[in-house]
Structure 1
Amino acid sequence: MLSFPNAKINLGLNITEKRADGYHNIESVFYPIAWCDALEMIPSENFSFASSGLGIPGNQANNLIVKAFELLKNERNVSFEGNVAIHLHKVLPMGAGIGGGSADGAFALKMLNELFNLKLSVSQMQEFASRLGSDCPFFIENTPKFCFGKGTEFENVELDLKGKYLVLVNPQIHISTAEAYSGIKPQKPELSTKEIIKRPIYEWKEVLKNDFEEKIIQNHPKIGQIKDKLYQLGAQYASMTGSGSTVFGIFEKEIFDLESIFKRCIIWKGEAGF
């Protein structure tokens, strides 16, 4: 079985309050895009995991795909017998704010559910995904959502960017969670992101904000330079996505020659419809 775990962008990201459990409550609109990894699973006598493409740092046991397998395997209420050989071809950069690792974990849950006929409902898979990480539940339904709470609560939103073109530029700067939250002062925004996105896109520039952006751009000026350049190229809206270093722009038409403009960066472009 083969699937293509896709990235997402954040349209606005507000850190609204610090929680008693040490996490933060947020508000954001998550929008899926067609930049993907490739994930293959086949039944096997023994469990195995291998990867190609971009190198994946850290211990394999901490990979969300492996954790998804172990989670279902050890869940008492899930009749899961068997093993799989898994191969991940990693395309989506890590620490980039586009949810690549979260997508891999969520898609692994969905594939295991189908491959072994576990009959898990969407809500059950979302609950399992929430145990893997904050962004993971979004990728179960993989449709535009208003995200709130710890990042695991969602509402459907009416948002369709079909006909627009996206450009994502990653300067290969890894932003840790600790760095992203350093200096953040949680506060509730005057306008909710789910209300702002109802406005025409050209109005988003002044009101749709990512609370991580200011401090991260101070620490890494190149990220701000990328954002400015996307606006110079004609973006209707440009922003850093998530807590990572990737910057995206929404355009009316396709943009060319990006490699010569954004040197030594990872670039993806494509239609915004998913």
Structure 2
Amino acid sequence: MLAFANAKINLGLNVIEKRADGYHNLETVFYPVRLYDVVEITDAAKVSCQIRGIDIPGEMTDNICLKAFNLIQKDFDIPAQQLTLLKHIPVGAGLGGGSADAAFLIKLLNTKFKLGLTITAMEDYARILGADCAFFIRNEPVFATEKGDRFAAISLDLSGYFIVLVKPPVHVSTAAAFGTLQPAFPETGLKELIQLPVSEWRKSLKNDFEHTVFSKYPEIARIKEQLYHAGAKFALMSGSGSSVFAIFEQAVTLPQLEKDNQVFYNI
């Protein structure tokens, strides 16, 4: 049994305050996009995980999908499975690829073994694994708060636009992105700003990580500038980077950006 686990982008991201537990409260809008990993589970003699496609740094025992499987197996009598990931979503890009893989694995296990988990229950499991992981259970546009794991539904449809994603050959550490960031409450909340026309987002929506990341990686800032020069209605770094997405009213090709970066069209 397999599933196609999609990425997300952040339409605005405000880091509001440091929490007592060491995390940060934030507000953002998660929006699902059409860029996919493939997650597959098959019966096996022992639990294992195979990665194909893009390499994932770190030890296999730290893989978030293995952690998701162990989390569910702890509470349910699930037989051993081979987990196979075909990685296509860039790593270290602010796109939530690993979180998506884990969330879709939880949904696969729930379906295959008829666990009877509700949406809310699956979200609760996913929250244990990562701040944005729970978003991928419902996988619909949401206004997210607290650590990025509490959601309010919003009405938002960008299907009439063309979304382009540019991933430079840079890996941005989320911890490093938080390093010199100064949390602050925005003058106007993102939930209100996201209701403005897309043509007004450029002067209203921001990503608080851009200042820190752009100062260390000016090539990412240049990508954003090039996207606006190419006619984007809105462009922003996603999450803590390093990818930058842009919203266009018409289909485009960006050969200059393709020279040094991965470019994904109409996602």
**Pairing 1:77-92 to 2, within 5 Å after superposition:** 79-92=76-89
* Partner residue in 2 for 1:46: 46
What is aligned with 1:191?
A: 188
Paired residues of 2:166 and 2:263 also in contact (CA < 8 A): yes
Query: What's the CA shift string for 1:115-162, capped at 9, x where partnerless?
Result: 111110000000000000001000000000000001110000010001
| Paired residues for 1:175-186 under 5 Å | 175-186=172-183
> Which structure 2 residues correspond to residues 1-274 of structure 1 after superposition, within 5 A?
1-75=1-75, 79-256=76-253, 258-270=254-266
1:68-99 deviation line (CA, Å, top 9, x unaligned): 00001112xxx332111111111111110010
Greater CA deviation, 41-50 or 63-72? 41-50
What is the Cα deviation at residue 211 of structure 1? 0.2
Q: Please give the root-mean-square deviation of Cα atoms over the aligned residues, in Å.
A: 1.0
Q: CA deviation at 1:189?
A: 0.6
> How far 1:198 moved relative to its partner?
0.7
| Conserved? CA contact 2:257–2:263, under 8 Å | no
Deviation of the 1:266 alpha carbon: 1.4
Residues 161, 248 of structure 2: 8 Å contact kept:
yes
Cα distance between partner residues in 1 of 2:47 and 2:182: 44
Letter in 2 for 1:50: Q
CA distance in 2, matches of 1:136, 1:172: 24
Residue ranges of structure 2 left out of the alignment (5+ in a row):
none
**In the aligned structure 1, how far is the partner of 2:114 from the partner of 2:255?**
44
AA of the residue aligned to 1:95: G
Question: What CA distance in whole angstroms lies between the structure 2 residues aligned with 1:51 and 1:265?
Answer: 23
* TM-score computed with the length of structure 1 as normaliser: 0.95
Which stretches in structure 1 are left out of the alignment for 5+ residues?
Answer: none
**Equivalent pair of 1:51/1:89 in contact (CA under 8 Å):** yes
Alignment: residue pair count: 267
Give, in whole Å, the separation in 2 of the partners of 1:82 and 1:197.
44
- The offset of 1:229, in angstroms, is 0.5
- Please give the alpha-carbon distance, in whole angstroms, between the structure 2 residues aligned to 1:40 and 1:172: 28
> CA offsets, 1:185-241, max 9 Å, x none?
111111111111111111111110000001211111100110000001110000001
Give distance in 2, aligned partners of 1:115 and 1:198. 39
What is the identity percentage for the equivalent residue pairs of Structure 1 and Structure 2?
A: 46
State the SS of the aligned residue for 2:115. Answer: coil
Q: Secondary structure at 1:39's aligned position in 2?
A: strand
Task: Give me the TM-score of the superposition, normalised by structure 2.
Answer: 0.98
Code of the aligned partner of 1:32:
P
Distance in 2, matches of 1:55 and 1:169, equals: 19
In structure 2, C-alpha distance between the alignment counterparts of 1:98 and 1:115, rounded to whole Å:
27
Distance in 2, matches of 1:183 and 1:48, equals: 39
Distance 2:222 2:258 in 1: 10
How far 1:261 sits from its partner (Å)? Answer: 3.0
CA distance in 2, matches of 1:134, 1:181: 15
Amino acid of the structure 1 residue aligned with 2:261: C
* Amino acid corresponding to residue 268 of structure 1 in structure 2: F
Following superposition, the deviation at residue 107 of structure 1 comes to 0.6
In the TM superposition, residue 179 of structure 1 has moved relative to its aligned partner by 1.2
CA distance in 2, matches of 1:131, 1:174: 24
Letter of the aligned partner of 2:38 in structure 1? A
* 1:89 partner SS: strand
Which stretch of structure 1 is more off in the superposition, 184-193 or 259-268?
Answer: 259-268
Q: CA deviation at 1:40?
A: 1.2
Q: Which amino acid aligns with 1:73?
A: Q
Residue 16 of structure 2 contacts residue 24 of structure 2 at CA under 8 Å; is this kept in 1? yes
